[in-house]
Chains A and B, each alone.
Chain A
Amino acid sequence: MARKMLTLGEVRDGALRNVSFEAIGAAKIASDGGEVVCVLIGNNVKEFGQELIQYGADRVVVVEDEKLEQYTPDGFSQALLAVIETEQPEGLIFGHTALGKDLSPKIAGKLGSGLISDATNLEAAGGNLVFTRPIYSGKAFEKKIITDGLVFATIRPNNIAPLQKDDSRTGEVSSVSVEIKDLRTIIQDVVRKASEGVDLSEAKVVIAGGRGVKSEEGFEPLKKLADILGGAVGASRGACDAEYCDYSLQIGQTGKVVTPDLYIACGISGAIQHLAGMSNSKVIVAINKDPEANIFKVADYGIVGDLFEVVPMLTEEFKKLKIHS
Chain B
Amino acid sequence: MNIYVLLKRTFDTEEKITISGGRINEDEAEFIINPYDEYAVEEAIQVRDTHGGEVTVVSVGTEEAEKQLRTALAMGADKAVLINVEDDVEDGDQFSTSKILAEFLKDKEADLIIGGNVAIDGGSGQVGPRVADQLDIPYVTTITKLEINEGAVTVTRDVEGDSEVIKTSLPVLVTAQQGLNEPRYPSLPGIMKAKKKPLEELELDDLDLEEEDVEAKTKTIEVYLPPQKEAGKVLSGDLSDQVKELVNLLHTEAKVI
Q: Given A282-B256, A300-B233, is A309 in contact with B123 using a C-beta cutoff of 8 Å?
A: no
A98 adjacent to B229 (CB under 8 Å)? no
A117 adjacent to B126 (CB under 8 Å)? yes
What's the least CB distance linking A228 to chain B, in Å? Answer: 10
Q: From A147, A254, A301, A321, give the contact of B218 (CB < 8 A).
A: A147
B222 adjacent to A314 (CB under 8 Å)? no
What's the least CB distance linking B163 to chain A, in Å? Answer: 5
What's the least CB distance linking A109 to chain B, in Å? Answer: 4
B123 adjacent to A101 (CB under 8 Å)? no
B121 adjacent to A144 (CB under 8 Å)? no
B243 adjacent to A114 (CB under 8 Å)? no
A303 adjacent to B235 (CB under 8 Å)? yes
The B interface, classified by DSSP as helix, strand, loop or mixed, is: mixed
Q: Given A130-B221, A146-B217, A272-B13, is A105 in contact with B232 using a C-beta cutoff of 8 Å?
A: no
What's the least CB distance linking A230 to chain B, in Å? Answer: 10
Q: From B130, B134, B225, B243, give the contact of A140 (CB < 8 A).
A: B225
A187 contact set on B, CB distance < 8 A: 164-166
A276 contact set on B, CB distance < 8 A: 13, 120
Which residue of A is nearest B121, CB measured? Answer: A136
B222 adjacent to A143 (CB under 8 Å)? yes
Q: Say if the beta carbon of A47 comes within 8 Å of chain B.
A: no
B118 contact set on A, CB distance < 8 A: 253
What's the least CB distance linking A42 to chain B, in Å? Answer: 15
Which residue of B is nearest A116, CB measured? Answer: B218
Q: Say if the beta carbon of A193 comes within 8 Å of chain B.
A: yes
B160 contact set on A, CB distance < 8 A: 97-98, 194, 201, 248, 256
B130 adjacent to A185 (CB under 8 Å)? no
A250 adjacent to B161 (CB under 8 Å)? yes
A249 contact set on B, CB distance < 8 A: 161
Which residue of B is nearest A317, CB measured? Answer: B247
Q: How far is the CA of A185 from the CA of B130 in the complex (A)?
A: 16
Which residue of A is nearest B246, CB measured? Answer: A301
- In the complex, per-residue mask of A132-159: 1 if CB is within 8 Å of any chain B CB, else 0: 0111110111111111110000000000
Number of B residues near A (Cβ < 8 Å) is: 77
Which residue of B is nearest A128, CB measured? Answer: B221
Q: Say if the beta carbon of A262 comes within 8 Å of chain B.
A: yes
B134 adjacent to A109 (CB under 8 Å)? yes
B124 contact set on A, CB distance < 8 A: 105, 115, 117-118
- In the complex, per-residue mask of B140-172: 1 if CB is within 8 Å of any chain A CB, else 0: 111000000000001000111111111111000
Q: From A188, A229, A309, give the contact of B257 (CB < 8 A).
A: A229
Binds B, one of A27-35, A49-57, A213-221, A283-291: A283-291
Q: Say if the beta carbon of A198 comes within 8 Å of chain B.
A: no
Q: Say if the beta carbon of A11 comes within 8 Å of chain B.
A: no
Q: How far is the CA of A215 from the CA of B243 in the complex (A)?
A: 24
Q: How far is the CA of A283 from the CA of B253 in the complex (A)?
A: 11
What's the least CB distance linking A233 to chain B, in Å? Answer: 12
Q: Given A136-B24, A146-B217, is A101 in contact with B141 using a C-beta cutoff of 8 Å?
A: yes
A184 adjacent to B162 (CB under 8 Å)? no
Q: From B17, B133, B142, B234, give the contact of A139 (CB < 8 A).
A: B17
A303 adjacent to B232 (CB under 8 Å)? no
Which residue of B is nearest A72, CB measured? Answer: B166
Q: Say if the beta carbon of B181 comes within 8 Å of chain A.
A: no
B14 adjacent to A117 (CB under 8 Å)? no
A254 contact set on B, CB distance < 8 A: 177-179
B17 contact set on A, CB distance < 8 A: 136, 139-140
Q: Most B CB atoms within 10 A — which of A115, A135, A321?
A: A135
Q: How far is the CA of A109 from the CA of B98 in the complex (A)?
A: 9
Q: From A102, A112, A194, give the contact of B162 (CB < 8 A).
A: A194
What's the least CB distance linking B72 to chain A, in Å? Answer: 21
Q: How far is the CA of A294 from the CA of B127 in the complex (A)?
A: 32
A115 adjacent to B218 (CB under 8 Å)? yes
B133 adjacent to A184 (CB under 8 Å)? no
B217 contact set on A, CB distance < 8 A: 113-115, 146-149
Q: From A108, A142, A188, A229, give the contact of B95 (CB < 8 A).
A: A108
Which residue of B is nearest A282, CB measured? Answer: B256
Q: How far is the CA of A184 from the CA of B167 in the complex (A)?
A: 8
Which residue of B is nearest A147, CB measured? Answer: B219
B130 contact set on A, CB distance < 8 A: 105-106, 108-109
Q: How far is the CA of A180 from the CA of B162 in the complex (A)?
A: 25
- Sampled A-B contacts (6; CB under 8 Å): A105-B94, A136-B121, A229-B257, A248-B162, A262-B256, A309-B239
In the complex, the 4 A-B pairs of residues with the closest C-beta atoms, listed nearest first: A248-B161, A114-B217, A184-B138, A109-B133
Given contacts A117-B123, A185-B139, 19 further A-B contacts (CB under 8 A): A105-B124, A114-B216, A115-B94, A118-B123, A136-B121, A140-B17, A140-B24, A143-B224, A146-B218, A149-B217, A186-B166, A187-B165, A194-B160, A282-B256, A283-B254, A302-B235, A303-B242, A317-B246, A318-B257
